[in-house]
Amino acid sequence: MRYAIKENKKVEPQFSGERAFCPICKNKVVGKIYSIRINHWAHLVKSESDCDSWYEPITEWHLNWQNLFPEENREVTITENNISHRADILLNNELVIEFQNSPIKIREVERRETFYNKNNRKLIWVLNGKSLAESVIVEKENVISDILVSISIPKSFPLVKNYSSRRILKHKLIGFLNADKKRSEIKENILTFKYTKEEFEIEHIKDQYKNHIIAIYKDLYGEIELNEFKKLIKIEDHLIEETFIKPRLKRLTWRAFIDKMESPVFIDNLKGLEEDELYYLSENKIISKEKFIKKALTYV
């Protein structure tokens, strides 16, 4: 273990032979200081080692991750029904972060998720890809979404009783057209969406939306001032040259227990990732470690 209790304080060992107490079983522990291995506390009586059945050796990778969080949030003891375990990180919002460096059994995954996801706590996993997914590669595909279409209709139309621009743009026919478009959004009397260049013919899209809007208007309001309404439909398109990365996980071999993790899974040190990137397995996304840490630290 990394921390023990000495004079009512949470401490790391400062010299070999130093004495303190285990936060879980309250028995005596002794400091172990090494020039190569990771410094840690060990139970003085070997039969008591280790009182946390989920104990795993501390690695440099564990330390580097834990050190990104305040000391008070590292290696925190959680007790449920007289059973105690040390969470790698427990944040003030009850978010538990477990840094997993070595393989574990599927049953063990289930036990940990059941234990840590109790009493408003939420667990997320961070896995070391270098030791758990050494043959896995993240391939990045650049996807360009570079056409923004904006469609506006009259916000108000006094010539027509009970006119509603939102009612027209929220109609199921418009929803059907939006189904294969990206990031469609309606704000008052304006509909916007994006699509990949060359995916659709822009003039066809403009005609399609205009004809549907006119058909919806006729269905709702008949022929009243229809020609005037047609003149006020505005459709514009813009090049936006937006590039984003779509990851693809290439698995030559894969550890079965990872697929059994129901809590969110982030993988560090995967081939194909930059040093400052994590692969968010649960959402098939690449995120920056800085963003991950910053979001977590807002809860500390």
**Per-residue pLDDT tens digits for 37-60:** 899 999 988 776 668 889 888 899
Q: Residue 144: is its pLDDT beyond 80?
A: no
**Signed CA dihedral, 258, 262, 266, 271: sign only:** positive
pLDDT of residue 259: 94
Q: What count of other Cβ atoms lies within 10 Å of the Cβ of residue 16?
A: 11
152 within 8 A of 190, measured Cβ to Cβ: yes
Least confident of 77-86, 96-105, 194-203: 194-203
By three-state DSSP, how is residue 221 classified?
Answer: helix
Answer yes or no: are the C-beta atoms of 18 and 40 closer than 8 Å: no
The β-bridge partners of 193 are 149
Residue 49 pLDDT: 63
Which tokens sit at 214?
């006119």
In the predicted model, is pLDDT for residue 245 greater than 60?
yes
How confident is the model at residue 243, as a pLDDT? 60
- Strand 40-43 versus strand 4-6 pairing type: unpaired
d(CA 245, CA 195): 15
pTM for the full model? 0.68
Average pLDDT score over the chain: 90
Q: 201 versus 199: which is more confidently predicted?
A: 201
Which residues lie across from 279 on neighbouring strands?
Answer: 267, 286
Return the higher-pLDDT residue of 178 and 289.
289
- Which pLDDT score, from 0 to 100, does residue 181 have? 79
The whole-number pLDDT of residue 148 equals 86
Q: Measure Cα distances from 278 to 18, 33, 90, 185 in Å.
A: 38, 32, 20, 29
Is residue 99 within 8 Å of residue 58, measured between CB atoms? no
Comparing 20-29, 215-224, 237-246, the range with the smallest average pLDDT is 237-246
Contacts with 234 (C-beta within 8 Å, 6 or more apart), sequence order: 150, 151, 152, 153
CA gyration radius for the chain?
A: 29
Residue ranges of domains in the chain, CATH in brackets? 1-51 (no CATH), 52-135+252-297 (no CATH), 147-243 (3.30.70)
Pair 29, 1: CB distance under 8 Å: yes
